[in-house]
Amino acid sequence: MRKPCDYTPVWLMRQAGRYLQEYNDTRMKAGSFIKLAQSPDLACEVTLQPVERFGLDAAILFSDILTVPDAMGLGLSFVAGEGPKFERPIRDEEAVKQLHVPDPNNELKYVIDAVSAIRKALSNRIPLIGFSGSPFTLACYMVEGGASKDFRTIKTMMYSRPDLLHRILDVNAESVAAYLNAQIRAGVQAIQIFDTWGGVLADQAYKIFSLAYMRKVIDLLDLGKGEDRVPVIVFTKGGTPWLEAISHCGADAIGVDWTCNLAKARRLVQDGVALQGNLDPMVLFGSEKTIREECRRVLDDFGMVNSGGHVFNLGHGINQFTPVESVGILVEEVHSYSRKYH
């Protein structure tokens, strides 16, 4: 963690995805996204595809954040053009009572097997990142029944029956911790908690219903100590207002979206944690000149010669329509230009 290196390392959220033809070919071979995610061999195959193509500095497990609520028996499906749907959303007291913590070595064994397969295939060339959705983000899908534009259902529960939402979040925190601990035992070398929807909350609500439960997850993780500690990254999309608070949750690094200048982020966290980010994914639709200039701007914003603690990434996941050659330009520019800071 925060060790010296020759250049700023880079990996990209959603780096194995639909913008790659080889991914689409493998997904077609699998038959569906769910079948792809549930096949350890194919999940390993698509995890390695962007690593082999671009020379990235980390691989991230190919899976989905909704594997955990699916393992709770909510009936996950993916509808073309609509995204994920749950057949049995959690909306009343009886449904909340039925929630249980799934056994990651049983209901989620296919993910753990994928971790083992990927580690073997990587042969320690680069680290493997494991992940989960945050308790609140998972709750959004579980209560809404899928994606949402206004989060009316979960916010209604939050303000009218906060006891029910706290119960869901407690179960989710225990489930996420068990799931991540199983990934760690299987060999992942870093963890990212994706808090995709925490940023839709009001200031105090974020601290109570999102950040507090990510802190609970981190407290339950078996991360090891010293040089063997598995670092934890927390990424809240829209999380700029809470960067200082996030820096005290026990995470080793904070993912930053594109709305925050990294120099400002460093001042807020006072170098207490590493930072990850934060190029706007839409920059990759620009010209080569623009892509290189924007990569340099992010690196210059973080700045400081011989400073560690920055992992270059996008401010969110790669868009499925991203030109493949743009990703190659990004990786090459980060690796070459950042050397002056190391």
Q: Given 14, 91, 215, 266, which residue is catalytic?
A: 14
- How many angstroms separate the CA atoms of 211 and 195, rounded? 9
Pairs from 146-151 (Cβ < 8 Å, separation ≥ 24): 146/82, 146/83, 146/84, 146/85, 146/86, 147/82, 147/83, 147/84, 151/197, 151/200
Q: Active-site residue 64, yes or no? A: yes
3-state SS, residue 324:
helix
Strands (E) across 40-186 are located at 59-60, 76-79, 83-86, 128-133
* Catalytic site includes residue 141: yes
Active site residue 125: no
Tokens of 92: 């009343």
The yes-or-no answer on residue 296 being catalytic is no
Active-site residue among 27, 91, 119, 266?
27
Burial class (CB in 10 A: 0-12, 13-18, 19+), 224: exposed
How crowded is residue 255: how many other Cβ atoms within 10 Å of its Cβ?
27
Pairing of strands 232-236, 253-255: parallel
Task: Please identify which of the residues 2, 18, 53, 167 carries the catalytic annotation.
Answer: 18
Q: How many CB atoms lie within 10 A of CB 185?
A: 14
C-alpha–C-alpha distance, residues 86 and 76, integer Å: 5
Catalytic residue among 19, 57, 64, 91: 64
**Known active-site residue 18:** yes
Q: For residue 114, how far is the Cα from the chain centroid?
A: 17
* Whole-angstrom distance, CA of residue 50 vs CA of residue 17: 9
Give the separation between CA 342 and CA 337, rounded to whole angstroms.
10
Catalytic residue (choose from 19, 23, 141, 213)? 141
Residues marked as catalytic: 14, 18, 27, 64, 141
